[in-house]
């Protein structure tokens, strides 16, 4: 799994930061990409990455502010021209479906693939054999959601030598054992999968929060998460200003990660008021509360390997 940031700014684009969007790359897990928010010019940002729009399987929208959705109509349209044929599922608050369909109607835009709209309600919004995604409402000036993406436990590794010692021949029986199925040998002996496989491996947990002031649901979504993506629009000196506008500070984001028992924190959605020279102070101040954090910039990419977050250079 990889996370790549396509836009890390707040409110409007700047020379350093585009508006909100990030990609959760699940290429090894399911051969697809999940996009979270789609601010203006997101498809332009994608041109500078290895992401293929036809690989985007799901788009999750936290809320309907323009800096989180104004790139959607263009990206959805371009996906048709770029070979997208598979269904794309679009998750978002009430009103998103109406806005997209109205935009397509007025602009005479025709999509060549199916779009499935899911209006977000609190609770589980997606589940299959690999992942479960939970949404909870945050505290912003309009309805806004955060998402908790949990990878289900992975099968343990097959202990081939142990299986061979028990008389399991090469071939499909080994595959069945690896997939958790018990088997019966020709002589009638039953071999249990758990006897020849290591224990299941814990999957990763990623929490991606929309715009929010300090709130309990941020902490609940972040509980024991491996990675938390949290906005840090303001700094500690403007905490009251942040709360008035439904946003958080760098210190408040660090506080959420600490109290939730998260492992890593990625600070995102940075106001243009902070110049490059200010960034180091934002990081150092937040690290006093939660040391394992990064303040991200556009195109930063992180990989999750062996239960560690690795920033790619």
User: Is 48 known to sit in a ligand binding site?
Assistant: no
Tell me which residue of 106, 14, 28 sits closest to 298, measured CA to CA.
14
Q: Report whether 140 belongs to an annotated binding site.
A: yes
Single out the catalytic residue among 67, 226, 235, 300. Answer: 67
247 carries a ligand binding annotation: no
- Residues with Cβ within 8 Å of 288's Cβ and at least 6 positions away in sequence, in order, are 254
- Please indicate if the annotation marks 86 as binding a ligand: no
Q: Is 211 annotated as a binding residue?
A: yes
128 is catalytic: no
CA separation for the pair 257, 225 (Å, rounded): 9
Angle 225-230-236 (CA atoms, 0-180°, nearest 5)? 125
Are residues 250 and 268 in contact, defined by beta-carbon separation less than 8 angstroms? no
Any alpha helices (H) in the chain, and if so which ranges? Answer: 27-30, 42-46, 66-69, 72-81, 96-107, 160-165, 172-178, 216-222, 239-244, 250-260, 276-287
> Largest Cα–Cα distance in the chain?
75
| Token representation of residue 93 | 């608050």
User: Would you call 176 helix, strand, or coil by DSSP?
Assistant: helix
**Residue of 49, 21, 238, 37 whose CA lies nearest to 145:** 37
DSSP 157: P
Residue with tokens 């048709």: 80
Two structure tokens written together for 232: 């840090």
- Token look-up 């195109």 returns 299
For the record, the structure tokens of 52 come out as 């293929």
3-state secondary structure of 186: coil
Q: Is 65 annotated as a binding residue?
A: yes
Q: Which residues does the annotation mark as catalytic?
A: 67
Q: Which residues are annotated as a binding site?
A: 63, 65, 67-68, 140, 211, 269
Q: Which residues are annotated as a binding site for Zn(2+)?
A: 63, 65, 67-68, 140, 211, 269
């Amino acid at each position: 799994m990889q996370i790549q940031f396509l836009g890390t700014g707040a409110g409007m684009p700047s020379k350093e930061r585009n508006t909100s969007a990030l990609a959760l790359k699940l290429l090894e897990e399911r051969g697809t990409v999940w996009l979270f928010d789609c601010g203006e010019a997101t498809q332009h940002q994608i041109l500078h990455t290895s992401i293929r729009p036809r690989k985007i399987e799901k788009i999750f929208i936290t809320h309907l502010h323009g800096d989180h959705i104004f790139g959607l109509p263009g990206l959805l349209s371009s996906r048709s021209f770029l070979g997208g044929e598979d269904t794309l599922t679009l998750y978002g608050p009430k009103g998103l479906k109406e806005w997209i369909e109205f935009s397509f109607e007025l602009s005479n835009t025709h999509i060549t693939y199916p779009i499935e709209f899911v209006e977000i309600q609190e609770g589980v919004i997606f589940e299959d054999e690999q992942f479960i995604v939970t949404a909870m409402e945050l505290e912003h000036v309009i309805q806004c959601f955060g998402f908790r993406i949990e990878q289900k436990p992975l099968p343990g590794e097959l202990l081939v030598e142990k299986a061979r010692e028990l008389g399991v021949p090469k071939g499909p029986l080994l595959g069945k054992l690896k997939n958790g199925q018990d088997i019966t040998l020709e002589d009638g002996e039953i071999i249990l999968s758990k006897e020849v496989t290591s224990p299941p491996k814990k999957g990763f947990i990623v929490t991606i929060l929309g715009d929010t002031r300090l709130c309990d649901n941020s902490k609940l979504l972040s509980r024991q998460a491996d990675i938390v993506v949290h906005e840090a629009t303001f700094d500690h000196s403007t905490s009251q200003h942040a709360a008035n506008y439904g946003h958080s500070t760098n210190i408040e984001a660090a506080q959420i990660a600490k109290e939730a028992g998260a492992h890593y924190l990625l600070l995102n959605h940075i106001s243009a008021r902070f110049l490059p020279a200010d960034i180091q102070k934002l990081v150092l101040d937040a690290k006093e509360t939660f040391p394992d954090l990064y303040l991200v910039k556009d195109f930063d990419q992180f990989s999750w390997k062996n239960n560690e977050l690795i920033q790619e250079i």
